[in-house]
Amino acid sequence: MARKRFSHAVATAVDAKKILGVRAGARSSHRFTGVWVVVVNDRVFARSWERRPGGWFRTFLEDPLGVIEVGSRRIRVCAIRHRSKRIHVAVERAYAQKYSTPGSLKYVRGFRAPRRREATIEFIPR
């Protein structure tokens, strides 16, 4: 069964944002957190810099339902952890292309670290 995907219009709106608001977990009181997101073939991905308890990444692992803010819209999502090398490489390329300022390069390089690569999440609409 094919996974649901965002419309091209929503994916384009997400791609235009440098930081996206994400609220992790349907049953938590988690607040909206700003995360760096990238779009690959109309699929929306994010990586966690830190994987601490109570953070957005760990909350999504426990409860994959949440919400993203795209402009003034709030879209319900499901978060899926990815371990595919092909996806990891595509996400790293997208980060390098989108976040290319001198101040961002440290983080783009850091997102290639194995522990951060393992923290790749795809958001799909629900």
What is the predicted pLDDT for the residue at 31? 85
Label residue 124 left, alpha or beta by phi (over 0 means left) and psi (-120 to 50 means alpha): beta
Phi, psi of 107, deg, nearest 5: -75, -40
Structure tokens at 71: 């402009």
Task: Write the pLDDT tens digit of every residue in 15-42.
Answer: 999 999 999 988 767 789 999 999 999 9
Task: Write the pLDDT tens digit of every residue in 80-104.
Answer: 999 899 999 999 999 999 999 999 9
pTM score above 0.85: yes
CA–CA gap between residue 108 and residue 28 (Å, rounded): 30
All domains in the chain, ordered by first residue? 8-125 (2.30.110.10)
